[in-house]
Amino acid sequence: MHRAALSEVFLTGWEKAGADTYTVSAQWPRSHSFYVPEHGMHDPLLLCETVRQTFPLLTHVAYGVPFGYQLSWSRLQYTINPQALRIERTPADLQIHAMFSDIRYHRQLPAMMTMHLEVVRNGSLVAMVSTRFGCHSPAVYQRLRGGRSDIGEVFVNAPQPPQPVSRSSVGRLRKQDIVLSPTEERRRWQLRVDTSHPVLFDHALDHVPGMLLLEAVRQASHAMQPLGRPAMPVSMDISFNRYVEFNEPCWIEAEPADDAASSAARRTVRVNALQGGTFAFNATTEVMDVAAM
């Protein structure tokens, strides 16, 4: 699952269900240090991390992708049923029904894949997810990274993170968990990358991880909420266009994507990341006022 800490692994088993179809079991803890529950609800980004862990599990055990290959996100789309996220007296046991399509092979190994997932809890639908990702051999990955694949050098030389925005503006209680830094422009922030973070950087990397970028989308959309009201990202569609590097500022920009007459309880926000003059990702997320649930 590409995790160093066993406590950060949420998958518990898998089995083949048919051609390019698998069932994966997972369990969410009732609480988590980073994916913090809000108003008695599991964090939707816990779903995203669970999906991310499904990539390496199934590519390695079901498709024979060797260890040492690098997986890279191309696109992620999800829609969540918020009521199914309620925390109960026991951890949440999940069944994930995964189906692969649009598989492009290179030398008998997958090079690009699309995965569709249906996440179920106690017979109730939790989420529908679709994601596309690439599988890169060490040689291909080195070419893609253009000399930036030396993890030891790149990770150690990552700059110190800039000052964070206020905790209340992004709905975070700990400075360590804030991934946005203020700028002089409204609705524009510098991406804040703290490589000492024990969850986002469970192990050394040569680029900013996708889960940190999803957190940036969440925090930017939260900062757009009226009066900083708590907001849950109940759906997201994000396209990853390039790797985000440590050694160059990355700018996060957000804007409303719905009209002024839309419901205050559900709002759509567009979030983009720019680095080196190009878009690193483009995202749209629908956020729901947690207090209105």
Q: Are 250 and 275 in contact (CB under 8 A)?
A: yes
> Out of 1.10.10.10, 3.40.50.300, 3.30.530.20, 3.10.129.10, which CATH number does the structure's domain 1-145 have?
3.10.129.10
Domain ranges of the chain: 1-145, 156-293
pLDDT number for residue 120: 98
10-42 burial: b if 16+ Cβ within 10 Å, else e: bbeebeeeeebebebebebeeebebbbbbeebb
Helices (H), 197-262: 210-223
Say how far apart CA 112 and CA 101 lie, in whole Å. 10
User: For residue 136, how many C-alpha atoms fall within 13 Å in the half-sphere facing its CB?
Assistant: 16
pLDDT in tens, 196-246: 999 999 999 999 999 999 999 999 999 998 766 778 999 999 999 999 999
The dotted CATH code for 156-293 is 3.10.129.10
Enumerate residue ranges in the chain where pLDDT < 70.
Answer: 1-5, 227-228, 260-264, 293
Asked if domains 1-145 and 156-293 share a fold, the reply is yes
**Which is it for the CA torsion 138, 142, 143, 145, positive or negative?**
positive
pLDDT number for residue 48: 98
pLDDT number for residue 266: 86
pLDDT number for residue 149: 87
Q: Which of 10, 118, 17, 119 is nearest to 56 (CA)?
A: 10
Q: What is the pTM of this model?
A: 0.95
Say how far apart CA 176 and CA 209 lie, in whole Å. 16
